[in-house]
């Protein structure tokens, strides 16, 4: 038994289409995805909790930490965009790992996503 086997993604998408299963269509534009990303990242808690922590425990370096964190989030978003453009199926980190790294790594990532 090979734990690092990968499943060909292209053949799976063709098999789903041949069997008559409904697949998702790509209808979101770059503008939609940017708005969705900004809405997911920015919430009410970021303004309330960080303001309180900054006032009581931190100094001016907080702005630098926000810039670094924003840069890291941007890089993660670019990685997901690259994965999504490479694979013709809808999915998440599990699907990307299954197609590239194998079943064992994908199972591990899937468990971490559930947790």
Q: What angle do CA 65, 83, 26 make, to 5 degrees?
A: 110
Least confident range of 43-47, 66-70, 100-104, 111-115: 43-47
How many residues are present in the chain?
A: 115
Both ends of the chain: CA-CA distance in Å?
Answer: 27
Q: What one-character DSSP code corresponds to residue 88?
A: S
Whole-prediction pTM value? Answer: 0.53
**How far is residue 39 from each of residues 42, 73, 90, 94, 108, measured CA to CA in Å?**
6, 14, 21, 23, 28
Given pLDDT bands bounded at 50, 70 and 90, which one contains residue 8?
low
Mean pLDDT of 59-71: 84
pLDDT of residue 111: 92
């Amino acid at each position: 038994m090979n734990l690092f086997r990968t499943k060909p993604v292209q053949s799976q998408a063709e098999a789903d289409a041949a069997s008559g299963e409904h697949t998702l269509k790509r209808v979101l534009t770059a503008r939609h995805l940017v708005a969705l990303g900004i809405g997911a990242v920015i919430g009410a808690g970021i303004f309330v909790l960080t303001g309180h922590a900054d006032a009581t425990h931190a100094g001016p370096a907080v702005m630098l930490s926000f810039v670094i964190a924003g840069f890291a989030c941007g890089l993660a978003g670019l990685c997901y965009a690259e994965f999504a453009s490479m694979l013709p199926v809808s999915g998440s980190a599990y699907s990307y790992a299954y197609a590239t790294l194998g079943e064992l790594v994908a199972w591990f990532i899937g468990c971490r996503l559930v947790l």
